Structure 1
Amino acid sequence: MRTILEANSKPNCKFQILSNPEFLAEGTAIADLFSPDRVLIGSLQTQEGKDAAVSLAEVYAHWVPRERILTVGLWSSELSKLAANAMLAQRISSINALSAICEATGANIDEVAHAVGRDSRVGPKFLKASVGFGGSCFQKDILNLVYLSESLHLPEVAAYWRQVVEMNEYQKRRFSKRVVDTLFNTITGKRIAVLGFAFKADTGDTRESAAITLVKDFVAERALVNLYDPKVPHEQIWLDLAEAMPVTPAATIQKQVQICGSALEACKNAEAVVIATEWKEFREIDWETVYAGMNKPAFVFDGRMLIDVEKLRDIGFKVAVIGRGERL
């Protein structure tokens, strides 16, 4: 960009290129904009570049405290954006890897995460086990970091960061396999209610959503899937499933997948309920009504650690929660 501007600039007209990455999270973007953890401004470390960075910092200083405005080198700014998302995703993949050990040993990943998070050097954030992370940023930025490492001839560094994405994919496959294994090693012809299709609550974004992988795996096993999400448009769901299963005819997908208007409707006549997104309304489901309308034995698979396990077991459900080793 700098080369193009300099080649086309008029005499005595100079440009400075600044890197000002955004750190907004979906669902909290406005709050993040008004009260950011930091504002990052990267520039060439020439006097002209530093002056340009100061000029942009003056704009942010109207509402952001000065100590939160960081001026750094151009490469440092660009790399910091990738590094922040990569390290957050790394924490999720790390706790998800430990959740697999918990399920195999009988440990409880919630207890492990709480104990680890009490260490002031680690902290509690992003230590919530789940069926896997999604969204437009984490995987894209990690793969950008992988590509950058490979282009700089750093294969070991590339392999390290690629493993974060591979662990995330493994977590999704592992969860869908647990559903199949628990339902007596076959889900052919069985009806499974998948609650949630967005990659996280409080957004309609489905990019890289774990639910897409789950539904794809269930369809491949010839299950019947009832889907419900309070925000994702039906058209988007069909587009995502068609893209995820390019060799499966659209008629086959629509024969096996039904999009429902409520959680209760999705759960009716199902053998199992799978919680894929942490929507608040899924914490408040009338589980006694759900149980009455399901085929027996009725299973619940919680991929977001939302439910009161003992309450559901008292109702009669067979319950499996990510990162918990209780045997059904």
Structure 2
Amino acid sequence: MTNQNILAVDDATDRPRISVIGTGYLGATHAAAMAEMGFDVVGVDQDPRKVEALSAGRVPFFEPGLPELIEKHVATGRLRFTTDIAEATAVSDVHFICVGTPQQATSFAANLSYVEDATAAVAKNLTHPGLIVGKSTVPVGTAARLRLLVARHVPAGVGVELIWNPEFLREGKAVDDTLSPDRIVLGGASPAAEATMRELYALPIAAGAPVITCDLPTAELVKVSANAFLATKISFINAIAEVCEAAGADVSVLADALGHDVRIGRQFLNAGLGFGGGCLPKDIRALMHRSKELGAHQAAGLMQQVDEINMAQRQSVIDKTVVAAGGSVLNKRIGVLGVAFKPFTDDVRDSPALNVAAALHLRGAQVTVHDPEANGTARANFPTLSYASNPLDAAIGASALLVLTEWPELVDVSPESLGEIVENRVVIDARNCLDPERWAAAGWRVVSLGKETVVPAPAVRVAALV
């Protein structure tokens, strides 16, 4: 494999042409963002239905701002989609690998088959010098093995280089995170490859995004380490929440006080149901697995504790619900507000909210769910739950009401209106997102995590004058 003249396009004045392999959350967003930055982009996916939808400007998942961006650049002609990777590779100079790396079915290790297949397919179909750029989150050491894979498959005489440029997007804010990244990491890039990447990211660089150049292992570890740190911070505050409950302290006020320390910061110190989604859980488990392989047992042990604390939060909410329902949820109606793993997404992968709802259903509860965006994706995973189109319908006759995802419209829902239709005015605030005094004033018992339960003020009886 050579990195000589990796972008020798026909006209020296041409801008690099881009292919994006994989059009899920990462790939579709990256393809649209690159088109917005002025490049010609072709997105590749094996699913013809997804390609058809994206080609028509329809996004098969919820991500704010993305449908408009894709529709805009499909119309301008800068962005198109195909199932033909050979065609996409032939017309492109830079090839972004944006496929998934899910957890393996039989271990905590990442499944790298999609990354390997996509990289090999690009290498086989190269017709002119190209740059392969990995963006998927992978275990450290993967890129070095992929370079060997590329060398085996690239046609003779075709120059190619593989580098790593990890993604840092957040679901619900993916478009802004891609167009305005807080850092750009380039791993293993030659001077020619770095120059090409700086051209691709010229707009965010001009806006102040720092560029960090490093070796391949460091670039691979940056993303997974960032996720591991955020997960650790969440599990830390949830562990402290347990202490607060036992001692009668308030974890939210404690977190506010901690957050004023610039060494700590307030973000990700919200105690509650814990983290989920398609990134943090699988990434800390993959890091745990890879750390053990490398003999780094302290890191593996830390990730194990982070994972255990996070999973325990789900059981804590289930236990609080059982108590709120009178000791058993069997044949009791339970209203659930929110099942996406976080607000502003319809993603229910490893969602703690959906996990709790399903667990209560398995205990015999009649669970009715409402989520502003995730009813459809939740139903596809758990069709035996009941689904409501609004919060009031989810709460009808409920022995307990659970707020499991902190959507603004669920946080702001009227406790007075809900109080008129539930069987029992008790709410489990699993995200510590409600105003407990407001709910208590409406007659609700508010059960939070890491705080004392707030109960309604007793009615004042005035004796009649005789």
TM over 0.5: yes
Give SS of 2:298's match.
Answer: helix
Superposed CA offset, 1:231-253 (max 9, x none): 1143x3233237xxxxxxxxxxx
Alpha-carbon distance in 2 for matches of 1:52, 1:209: 38
Conserved 8 A contact 1:272-1:300: yes
Alpha-carbon distance in 2 for matches of 1:278, 1:163: 25
Q: Which residue of 2 aligns with 1:214?
A: 356
Give SS of 2:318's match.
Answer: helix
Structure 2: stretches of 5+ with no match in the other structure: 1-145, 456-466
The answer to whether 1:133 aligns with 2:275 is yes
Quickly say closer, same or farther: Cα 1:174–1:233, change in 2 above 3 A. closer
Aligned-partner residue type, residue 238 of structure 1: R
Conserved 8 A contact 1:176-1:218: yes
Alpha-carbon distance in 2 for matches of 1:326, 1:270: 19
Matching residue within 198, 209, 221 for 2:340:
198
The answer to whether 1:286 aligns with 2:414 is yes
Conserved 8 A contact 2:198-2:205: no
Q: Which residue of 2 aligns with 1:250?
A: none
Superposed CA offset, 1:25-62 (max 9, x none): 11111111121110111016xxxx24322331232123
Q: Which residue of 1 aligns with 2:448?
A: 321
**Bigger Rg, which one:** 2
The answer to whether 1:60 aligns with 2:201 is yes
The answer to whether 1:121 aligns with 2:263 is yes
Quickly say closer, same or farther: Cα 1:22–1:164, change in 2 above 3 A. same
Alpha-carbon distance in 2 for matches of 1:105, 1:311: 24
Q: How many Å apart are 1:104 and its aligned residue?
A: 1.6
Alpha-carbon distance in 1 for matches of 2:315, 2:227: 23
Conserved 8 A contact 1:92-1:126: yes
Superposed CA offset, 1:254-307 (max 9, x none): 3xx3211110011111111100001111122122121111114x1011111222
Alpha-carbon distance in 2 for matches of 1:229, 1:5: 44
The answer to whether 1:310 aligns with 2:437 is yes
Superposed CA offset, 1:122-162 (max 9, x none): 11111111211111110111111111111112333212112
Q: Which residue of 2 aligns with 1:24?
A: 169
Conserved 8 A contact 2:375-2:387: no
Q: Which residue of 2 aligns with 1:39?
A: 184
Give SS of 1:17's match.
Answer: strand
How do 1:1-328 residues align onto structure 2 when only pairs under 5 Å count? 1-9=146-154, 13-43=158-188, 49-65=190-206, 68-234=210-376, 236-241=377-382, 254=384, 257-296=385-424, 298-326=425-453
| TM-score, normalising length: structure 2 | 0.63
Alpha-carbon distance in 1 for matches of 2:270, 2:254: 10
Alpha-carbon distance in 2 for matches of 1:317, 1:276: 17
Alpha-carbon distance in 2 for matches of 1:157, 1:52: 33
Percent sequence identity over matched residues? 33
Alpha-carbon distance in 1 for matches of 2:149, 2:367: 52
Alpha-carbon distance in 1 for matches of 2:445, 2:216: 54
Alpha-carbon distance in 1 for matches of 2:436, 2:256: 18
Alpha-carbon distance in 1 for matches of 2:381, 2:300: 28
Give SS of 2:275's match.
Answer: coil
Conserved 8 A contact 2:278-2:349: yes
RMSD (Å) for aligned C-alpha atoms: 1.8
Structure 1: stretches of 5+ with no match in the other structure: 243-253
Q: How many Å apart are 1:12 and its aligned residue?
A: 5.0
Aligned-partner residue type, residue 193 of structure 1: G
Q: How many Å apart are 1:105 and its aligned residue?
A: 1.4
Q: Which residue of 2 aligns with 1:247?
A: none
Give SS of 2:335's match.
Answer: strand
Count of residue pairs the alignment pairs up: 309
Alpha-carbon distance in 1 for matches of 2:411, 2:148: 54
Conserved 8 A contact 1:103-1:326: no
Conserved 8 A contact 1:106-1:326: no
Quickly say closer, same or farther: Cα 1:218–1:7, change in 2 above 3 A. closer
Aligned-partner residue type, residue 367 of structure 2: V
Alpha-carbon distance in 2 for matches of 1:217, 1:11: 56
Conserved 8 A contact 1:192-1:225: yes
Aligned-partner residue type, residue 39 of structure 1: I
Q: How many Å apart are 1:221 and its aligned residue?
A: 2.2
Q: How many Å apart are 1:200 and its aligned residue?
A: 0.7
